[in-house]
Structure 1
Amino acid sequence: MLIWLKRLFWFGLFLVALGIAGISAFYFALENSLPDVTSLRDAKFETPMRVYSADGALIAEYGEMRRIPLKINEIPQPMIDAFLSIEDARFYEHPGIDPIGIMRAGVVWLTTGQMRQGASTITQQVARNFFLSREKTILRKIKEVFLAWHIEKELSKDEILELYLNKIPLGYRAFGVGAAAQVYYGKPVDQLTLGQIAVIAGLPKAPSMLNPIRSPQRAEARRNVVLGRMLELGKITREQYDAAKMEPVATRYHGADIMLNAAYVGEMARKFMVDRYGDEAYTKGFNVYTTITAKLQKAADDAVFRGLLDYDLRHGYRGAEKRLWQAKEPAWTTDRIYEYLNDLSSSDPFEPAVVTRIRDKQADVVIKGGLEGSINWDGMKWARPFITDERQGTAPRRAADILHVGDLIWVWPEDDTSLRLVQIPEVNAAFVALDPQNGAIQALVGGFSFEQSKFNRVDQAKRQAGSNIKPFIYSAAFNSGFTLASLVNDAPINQWDTASGTAWSPKNSPPVYDGPITLREALARSKNVVSVRLLRSVGIGKLMDHLRQFGFDVKPEQRNEALALGAIEVSPMEMATGYAAIANSGYKVTPHIITKVEDTNGTTLFEAKAPVACPSCSNTVTPDPATASALPAAPADPTAAPLAPQIISHANAFLVSEAMHSAIFGGKDRGMQGSWLGTGWRAARELKRQDIAGKTGTTNEAKDAWFSGFNSKLVATTWVGFDDHRRKLGRSIAGNEYGASAAQPIWIEFMKIALANTPEAPVPRPDDVVEVRIDNVSGMLSTPEDSNSRVEYFQKGSEPTLANPGNDTLFGEGGSSEPGTSTDDIF
């Protein structure tokens, strides 16, 4: 018997040695194919790209994986205890391998032929998550064991646990506990309750089936298992266990903690990053900083929202989205209404609602989210019936004239106590504000709602410019010898077109003609026929070249006199860039929205060096449009930004801005019988500052409305119109919709915020522009004693030299008799 026991012992020892030898041989066979675990010391997690405003407000987050990497000391101890209790209670004791678990998995495999048992330690899970697939094969399991041994030799336990808690998938594209806390509860890990921690700790087993959003009941059961293990291991007390079990489980999905609504800006940044870095833009954790600031972006967003809503309300109520039940049908229950509404999308800040009761001048509604409320008369009395863009019906007298029980409508909770009946505007808008000195975009809104339309009307839409193009025509005229005081005949034009057999008769709007009029007044009052006469005098070829200097894409087929009335398609971004050259004394800046890009360590990978306007650097205008975009030599300092090309002289820019200043503030009649208003007079009334200049713009049939304006520090352009080019802006109970009524209010509301508490910053007057007192009617030289005189600006050499009759003493005997500016050829 003893002999057999000895033989059995030696046979067992032989088998153990044979097993060790086999494992060793297998290890050496696989060694060269195993990954280098030392790379874990520099592990780079796939983290999303984040886009920020210039002042650090989060605008957007892009990437398939949500991850917020944390250091081990940033993770609360209860979170660590929960994961270790349910996943690997002996983590800090074992060498990375759990022999009992491996033997159990092996027995299952031998008896069933399938790998149903995992029994992996946290170290093994790190090996699998970083280096291996999740397929259940014996070869993968063996590799996992070997890699775990290697990892335990190279890294400390805390380093391994940190990798695990940042890498593990936890459902809803959340990877790691930091992201899971944000996705499921909308807060950082150090603010989670014990019950919430246990829910997250229970997710690794089956993230899609056990998460509290998809299956609260399964999540609760799994949470209780985690809490039970923590109690069993002494990680929590009975009181903590009981309290955590009583916590509600159900939650909702939380997106990124967006601080600033600027979706169109975020999309522009995303496209920039993908163009520059490809698909890595979504996984390398780039931090992208834009040029916009939260204050100005919010002001722009609010202004566009208010402007479009006001336009929409002026044109009447188009009716309910649909009627859910008819008058003779049984009314839906409140629960059924809640269920229906919760499946609908909101359109921030509007919410869908269903009318449940109509009273005399009030309507009771159920709102998405399980709320009930009432729309009072002040919140619905605007709702005249919409008939066409040109017509509205009679004013309603009671709620039943507007709404019916069962109507699916939109409401706007203006404050905590009142609801307003609204509708999603069909009209749209674009708004962009730039720093004219370097082209940095200060605020941008590409439409009413990014959720409804991703189309960015600021840089993707091309619309007819209308009268917004006129300042550039006047700029060309100043280059051709005209002055602010030049008189041009504001009289009807009739030109026979032999090709079409019709007469071309451009009209003023309104169709009022004042005879000889100065260029200052003509631009300020947007006289169409004067623009046509200027085009004829300058020459259409020279004018087209001049427009190209500003960046406008003037095509050969647009070589006709309608160009003077804005028959050219431009984007709002191009328009704002053109106006920036007037605001910055003549330089073509490049609009840009990215200031810098940083990696996850804060290292700057990209930094914008946009060309800057520099009025003090030179006064040499690039004469050839083909070379207008070429940059001058960079300043001596290699770290300084390059210089923007100068496309018009300082004097030219100043004179144009002066005429646009009069479009805001008006002027006196030449006969001193009164005064006239410019088309942008509302800005003077609302903003109450003297440094602003601007120009309205309305196209033929009012399909596009524009307003562009500036001081030397800020330029902004607004466009309003329908995406359907066939629709006109029409007429409302308040009158016709023009640039001054549809687009300018948005610009004004933005500027109220943007310019508040800022010093006035007019376009500076250059040294070669002089002040000369002239007669208000003739434009000839005059004296201060002449009550019908005023001071005007002229570029040196262009000022008048003739005295007004009766003022010969101004020059003495032999005074000049030559006219300063002759415009007889265009009268």
Structure 2
Amino acid sequence: MKYIKPLILFSFLSGLLGFAALVGIYFYIKPDLPSVTVLKDVRLQTPMQIYTKDGKLISQYGVKRRIPVKLEEVPKQLVDAIIATEDSRFYEHHGIDPIGIVRAAVSLVLTGEKRQGASTLTMQLARGFFLSREKTYIRKVKEIFIALHMEQELSKQEILELYLNKIELGHRSFGFGAASQVYYGKPLTELSLAQIATIAGLPKAPSVLNPISGPERSVERRRVVLLRMLDENYITRAQFDEAASAPVTARKHGAEIEVDAPYLADVIYSEMVETYGKEEAETGGYQVYATATSELQLAAQRAVIRNLHDYDERHGYKGALGYLWNIPKSESKDEKIPILSLSFDVSNRTERAMWDDTSLISVLEEIPYIKPLVPSVVKVVNEKSIEVLTVNGETRTIEWDGLDWARRYITDFRQGNDPDTAADVTREGAVIYIREQDGEWRIAQIPEVSGAFIALNPKNGAVEAVVGGYSFYQSQFNRATQAKRQVGSNIKPFVYSAAINSGYTLASIINDAPINQWNAATGVAWRPQNSPAEYDGPIRMRKALGKSKNVVSVRLLRGVGLRETANYLTRFGFNKEDIPLDETVSLGSSSHTPLEVARGMSVIANGGYLVNPHFISEVLDENGEQLWQANPVWACHRCEEEDDTSTSQPLDEDDIEALLAAQFNEDAGTVDLTNDVEEKTIAPQVISAQNAFLVAEMMRTGVRANGNWNKKTYWLGTGWRARNILQRTDIAGKTGTTNDSRDTWFSGFHKDIVATAWVGFDNMSRQLGRATRNQNLINKDPEKFNWIGNALIGTEDGAKAAGPAWIRFMEYALADKPYSPLPVPEDIVRVRIDRTSGKLTNRTDHTTLFEYFLQGTEPTVYVRDNDVVDPAEQDETTTPESEEIF
């Protein structure tokens, strides 16, 4: 007993001293311990995801990849695997595992190394949220205290759910939801047992045990996890054997992008960063929904890409990227791929026999892969076809229909002879691009020409589609929203609107005759010309806009007044600083973005209201709760019935200028994401509904054939192909071409959608040139060769270069829409007039037509019988085939 009492006393004092030491340590490190109460309302760093309006994922932004999951959404096998491997007594301890701590202490004493951490799931979670991975005693002590506190504040289920979403698992994935996507490209619920065991083994050392960086170590770790599951009776021996022997199926996956629309995503990302800041935008878990639907966005992208390739093919083939064998004599023998720097060794490989498919693919993998172009090498050249090996290891045959366009490019104005055989186009050993079109493969090249496209809902300014160029991965410059280019004749509808506002009518007669004005100050005469330089003499205003008569536009500007016209253009949202104060403004010398042009066209399409373009429909938080939704201004035709404070009358000049300065600045695409949703707001009416309708009527003339061929009253609007292809009369449009065809435009609308297409070179000094006749293409469809596509010939202009993109988009966008013309506003009357003079007439033959007028402006004088001009009796004729359309 004399030894027992001292021993008991010693043990008591030791325990007391140990407890005191523990309390002392706690109070020593307490100031450095974080409050775990924040875990009650934890906000995980989750990337921002951007969706189309119909819920298709466009893009994801954020360094950390995280897909939060609820515990009930996690497969039971994954939970079993984690608990069996990381903390088998998770449901028994209170944050720390004494048995594990003793085991780790024994290991430390026996080996002198910190081999075992004894960390429970709770301790790992504490480290993940509040500490580092540094292996120090003080960190371990802090980890223990935080874990104990966490167990007091949170339930086991809450701790487990946080662990599943927080833990780092390699390749920037955080949480098991993200790991499942990164390594296998599918949700947790679709993983096999082998895949579950693989990601369950990652927490120990995610950088070296993941199946991408270390597949062999990953297999070993997977076996350990499966053994632990077997020991804990979570799986059977048969399940173990099957999963342990399963092959490694992991590969790196990005976000599960459903719609590749990078220009749209980039605009939205920029707005979110501007509003919330880069870090918050990328980690706040925002779910942002665009105003654009996936169908219209993809339709716009297809239209732009096809249109740029059509232009490119019209102007000829620039040749292969280089040659691996069978090198032309004109090429350098020292460099097998002249324009590329390859890491693959191609030295001494000058013969075909030296190349197998594996080495060919190794070269192709270094060629830029810009969708829809596929890097390929020509293996066989037949008389009317070629066989190629693609970078994907596939063998493709390109028939003559995919080669016959490829005459040699000489300049933007000259092309070589039409090819007769495949050998006239390419040779074996050539490294080329190919692309698929209408189910067939074609030889291709990266277009040097650029394009842009924007589509809006004219009722509220919601962007339906935006394309900023051929490929975002080639150039991130968004030409639809950022590029200010001269608009050419796209400005004319707005000039004509100013004329109507000043008392002109659609039947007003303007002299289409040359202008020769001497400028004494410069000593130079200004001679604006029509394009082509043909003049019709006295012409009705409707027909002048439909045929895009330059000199008529100048005369109308003079009739309204230069300053008055310039001020009037700001009604459509154009920045006053971009409008030059000289008469060239009537011909489109001002520079605007496609977005600004489309916005201006929306005023004409919606009855006179200035809407504000916006790209974002709504923003949700990480829990799917709505934070913000768009509250755009709306076009309204009977505002006085819906809102007593609104007006159906256009604003005056001072009101419009103040409005533009305060609300509709040049950054029209930016919206304030901090505002709460308000009730529907009526857009300001900047021109009258009657004015908008009359301009739209003139623009309808511009996209169709008019008159009667047999009676010699036939004439074509500059955008006549639109009516021929779309086969509908409820559309309106306007072409636009600048001097020397440096910028080409086509803008137009249906009452439900407005769209603008632009084509030009980024190098503003480069002209779009001219395409000569390619008989190979004409022979395919002689009747339609000059309607749309790569068979168009002549000088490039708005109708040929930009028009096809607009037509192809509208062909899709309007496919299911019934015929729906613009409604005729009140105070619009329709009377029969003489086709030549614009005066009233009692005749009902081909020399007359019906015309719309604002009530009170219709003609009051009748044409005299001896003044009637009957075109059918004239000698001069003009055939539609010979008319060059601009």
Normalization by structure 2: what TM-score? 0.86
Q: How far apart, CA to CA, are the structure 2 residues paired with 1:213 and 1:341?
A: 23
Residue 345 (structure 1) shift: 4.3
The aligned residue for residue 840 of structure 2 is 781
Moved more, 508-517 or 151-160: 151-160
Deviations 1:717-759 (A, max 9, x none): 1111111112111112322211111111111111111112213
> 2:578, 2:591 within 8 Å by CA — same for their partners in 1?
no
Answering whether residue 93 of structure 2 is matched by residue 99 of structure 1, we say no
> 2:579, 2:585 within 8 Å by CA — same for their partners in 1?
no
Answering whether residue 710 of structure 2 is matched by residue 710 of structure 1, we say no
Aligned residues: 801
The aligned residue for residue 230 of structure 1 is 229
Query: Which residue of the other structure, out of 545, 549, 563, is the alignment partner of 1:541?
Result: 563
For the structure 1 residues 360 and 245, does the alpha-carbon distance in structure 2 shift closer, same or farther, using more than 3 Å as the test? farther
* AA in 2 matched with 1:411: I
Q: How far apart, CA to CA, are the structure 2 residues paired with 1:190 and 1:591?
A: 41
For the structure 1 residues 549 and 169, does the alpha-carbon distance in structure 2 shift closer, same or farther, using more than 3 Å as the test? same
For the structure 1 residues 206 and 406, does the alpha-carbon distance in structure 2 shift closer, same or farther, using more than 3 Å as the test? farther
Matched ranges for 1:648-667 at <5 A: 648-667=687-706
For the structure 1 residues 325 and 499, does the alpha-carbon distance in structure 2 shift closer, same or farther, using more than 3 Å as the test? farther
Counterpart secondary structure, 2:49: strand
Q: How far apart, CA to CA, are the structure 1 residues paired with 2:821 and 2:114?
A: 77
Query: Which residue of the other structure, out of 817, 826, 834, is the alignment partner of 1:758?
Result: 817
Moved more, 156-165 or 352-361: 352-361
Counterpart secondary structure, 2:702: helix
Matched ranges for 1:43-192 at <5 A: 43-106=42-105, 115=114, 117-192=116-191
Runs of 5+ consecutive residues of structure 2 not aligned to the other structure: 328-348, 640-646, 665-676, 773-792, 868-886
Moved more, 309-318 or 28-37: 28-37
For the structure 1 residues 266 and 663, does the alpha-carbon distance in structure 2 shift closer, same or farther, using more than 3 Å as the test? same
> 2:53, 2:293 within 8 Å by CA — same for their partners in 1?
yes
* AA in 2 matched with 1:619: S
Deviations 1:665-700 (A, max 9, x none): 243389953311111111111111221111011111
Runs of 5+ consecutive residues of structure 1 not aligned to the other structure: 633-637, 809-827
For the structure 1 residues 224 and 337, does the alpha-carbon distance in structure 2 shift closer, same or farther, using more than 3 Å as the test? farther
Q: How far apart, CA to CA, are the structure 2 residues paired with 1:362 and 1:792?
A: 56
Moved more, 50-59 or 670-679: 670-679
Q: How far apart, CA to CA, are the structure 2 residues paired with 1:681 and 1:414?
A: 25
The aligned residue for residue 350 of structure 2 is 329
> 1:213, 1:250 within 8 Å by CA — same for their partners in 2?
no
Q: How far apart, CA to CA, are the structure 2 residues paired with 1:299 and 1:63?
A: 28
For the structure 1 residues 206 and 337, does the alpha-carbon distance in structure 2 shift closer, same or farther, using more than 3 Å as the test? farther
* AA in 1 matched with 2:127: R
Q: How far apart, CA to CA, are the structure 2 residues paired with 1:22 and 1:707?
A: 82
The aligned residue for residue 813 of structure 1 is none
The aligned residue for residue 488 of structure 1 is 510
Q: Percent identity?
A: 51
The aligned residue for residue 590 of structure 2 is 568
Q: How far apart, CA to CA, are the structure 1 residues paired with 2:610 and 2:658?
A: 12
Residue 71 (structure 1) shift: 1.4
Counterpart secondary structure, 2:634: coil
Counterpart secondary structure, 1:706: strand
Counterpart secondary structure, 2:404: coil
Q: How far apart, CA to CA, are the structure 2 residues paired with 1:672 and 1:803?
A: 22
For the structure 1 residues 408 and 221, does the alpha-carbon distance in structure 2 shift closer, same or farther, using more than 3 Å as the test? farther
For the structure 1 residues 250 and 332, does the alpha-carbon distance in structure 2 shift closer, same or farther, using more than 3 Å as the test? farther
Moved more, 509-518 or 769-778: 769-778
For the structure 1 residues 432 and 785, does the alpha-carbon distance in structure 2 shift closer, same or farther, using more than 3 Å as the test? closer
The aligned residue for residue 373 of structure 1 is 396
Q: How far apart, CA to CA, are the structure 2 residues paired with 1:696 and 1:721?
A: 14
The aligned residue for residue 667 of structure 2 is none
Deviations 1:402-456 (A, max 9, x none): 223332221224588x532111211111111111111111111111111111111
Residue 631 (structure 1) shift: 8.0
Answering whether residue 459 of structure 2 is matched by residue 437 of structure 1, we say yes
The aligned residue for residue 622 of structure 1 is 651
Matched ranges for 1:497-512 at <5 A: 497-512=519-534
Query: Which residue of the other structure, out of 530, 535, 540, is the alignment partner of 1:518?
Result: 540
The aligned residue for residue 302 of structure 1 is 302
For the structure 1 residues 414 and 221, does the alpha-carbon distance in structure 2 shift closer, same or farther, using more than 3 Å as the test? farther
> 1:549, 1:628 within 8 Å by CA — same for their partners in 2?
no
For the structure 1 residues 337 and 206, does the alpha-carbon distance in structure 2 shift closer, same or farther, using more than 3 Å as the test? farther
Answering whether residue 630 of structure 2 is matched by residue 611 of structure 1, we say no
The aligned residue for residue 205 of structure 2 is 206
* AA in 2 matched with 1:788: T
The aligned residue for residue 818 of structure 1 is none
Residue 401 (structure 1) shift: 2.5
The aligned residue for residue 347 of structure 1 is 370
Residue 299 (structure 1) shift: 1.4
Deviations 1:744-778 (A, max 9, x none): 11111111111122133323222122112112222
Deviations 1:375-422 (A, max 9, x none): 333222221111111111112233333223332221224588x53211
> 2:36, 2:146 within 8 Å by CA — same for their partners in 1?
yes
Query: Which residue of the other structure, out of 489, 498, 505, is the alignment partner of 1:476?
Result: 498
Deviations 1:348-401 (A, max 9, x none): 222212223333333332222332333333222221111111111112233333
Counterpart secondary structure, 1:794: strand
Matched ranges for 1:285-434 at <5 A: 285-325=285-325, 327=327, 329-330=350-351, 331-414=354-437, 418-434=440-456
The aligned residue for residue 801 of structure 1 is 860
Counterpart secondary structure, 1:664: coil
> 2:324, 2:350 within 8 Å by CA — same for their partners in 1?
no
Counterpart secondary structure, 2:18: helix
Residue 24 (structure 1) shift: 2.3
Q: How far apart, CA to CA, are the structure 1 residues paired with 2:103 and 2:434?
A: 61
* AA in 2 matched with 1:574: E
Residue 584 (structure 1) shift: 1.0
The aligned residue for residue 681 of structure 1 is 720
Moved more, 260-269 or 468-477: 260-269
Q: How far apart, CA to CA, are the structure 2 residues paired with 1:559 and 1:585?
A: 28
The aligned residue for residue 798 of structure 2 is 739
> 2:736, 2:745 within 8 Å by CA — same for their partners in 1?
yes
Deviations 1:120-144 (A, max 9, x none): 1111001111122222221111010
Q: How far apart, CA to CA, are the structure 1 residues paired with 2:85 and 2:325?
A: 52
Q: How far apart, CA to CA, are the structure 2 residues paired with 1:325 and 1:631?
A: 62
Q: How far apart, CA to CA, are the structure 2 residues paired with 1:415 and 1:779?
A: 48
Counterpart secondary structure, 1:391: coil
Q: How far apart, CA to CA, are the structure 2 residues paired with 1:778 and 1:359?
A: 63
Q: How far apart, CA to CA, are the structure 1 residues paired with 2:154 and 2:569?
A: 66
* AA in 1 matched with 2:540: T
> 1:444, 1:458 within 8 Å by CA — same for their partners in 2?
yes
Q: How far apart, CA to CA, are the structure 2 residues paired with 1:543 and 1:791?
A: 29
Q: How far apart, CA to CA, are the structure 2 residues paired with 1:540 and 1:135?
A: 74
For the structure 1 residues 356 and 220, does the alpha-carbon distance in structure 2 shift closer, same or farther, using more than 3 Å as the test? farther
> 2:634, 2:681 within 8 Å by CA — same for their partners in 1?
yes
Moved more, 605-614 or 515-524: 605-614
Deviations 1:576-622 (A, max 9, x none): 01111111111111111112211123332222211111121233222
> 1:670, 1:776 within 8 Å by CA — same for their partners in 2?
no
* AA in 2 matched with 1:568: S
Moved more, 72-81 or 369-378: 369-378
Deviations 1:272-294 (A, max 9, x none): 11111112111111111211112
